[in-house]
Homo-oligomer: A and B are copies of this chain.
Amino acid sequence: MIASARERRHAARRDALADAAIETLQSLGYAHTSLRDIARRTGLSLGRLHYYFADRNALIGYCVRRYKARFIAAIEQAIGGATQPRVVAARVVAALAASIRDNAETHRLWYDIRGQAMFDPALVEVVDEVETALIAITTLVTGRLGLDRALALSIYLAMDGHYRYAMQRHLDGDAQIVLAFERLATEALARFLPDEVRMDHDAHV
């Protein structure tokens, strides 16, 4: 189905609105962001928000999809064509560390919304989608590490745990945590490697 020019422009304006809205969301979080906050901070009218999105959750869900898609694209780009396990691992860890250092305020939003999905059925679908995509990129990484892809979920969960913790402590002002994250995350990945690869890996860490 070819979109008309008008539909394309409509979609572009919708995207631009979401991109403007996300600043407010990441700053205030789900609980404390009202549509009026978004309107006020973006200079857009309250009515316009309602024109482009059915309701508050629709806007929030759309924002989260867009930002996580960009995050996943950045991880993919960081990996590039790397196929050596230790290069892949180093690149993933470095990309995650950089995202904490440079964008912790943005990334905390995912943990907020993911938590809210446990209380609000309207958020379940987008959260499941995003988490599925995160597990998928982890599956790609798992393959590149030369591991059985059945390990992807466990790798995702271990890395996610480390990421969230580091990000939260970074937000709390811990100046050493990103460096600690790099070490701990690298070790966490190494734990999944077979012994002979792991010994080789450790020798280079």
Contacts and interface: CB of A to CB of B under 8 A. Distances in A.
Contacts of A154: 162, 184, 187-188
Interface in A12-32: 28-32
A26 B163 CA distance: 25
- The main secondary structure of chain A at its interface with chain B is helix
Contacts of A184: 153-154, 157
Contact of A118 (B29, B119, B188, B191): B29
Interface string A140-154: 000000000000011
Contacts of A165: 153, 157
A128 B165 CA distance: 11
A200 interface: no
A204 B201 CA distance: 29
A129 B182 CA distance: 24
A115 B108 contact: yes
A86 B184 CA distance: 25
Interface residues of A, number: 37
A71 interface: no
Nearest to A124: B172
Interface string A167-199: 110011000000000001001100110010000
A112 interface: yes
A168 to B, nearest CB: 6
30 contacts: A29-B115, A29-B118, A29-B119, A30-B31, A31-B31, A31-B116, A32-B120, A108-B115, A108-B118, A111-B115, A112-B118, A114-B168, A118-B167, A118-B171, A124-B172, A128-B172, A153-B165, A153-B184, A154-B162, A154-B184, A154-B187, A156-B161, A157-B161, A157-B162, A158-B158, A158-B188, A161-B161, A191-B191, A191-B192, A195-B195
Interface of A: 28-32, 108, 111-112, 114-120, 124, 128, 153-154, 156-162, 165, 167-168, 171-172, 184, 187-188, 191-192, 195
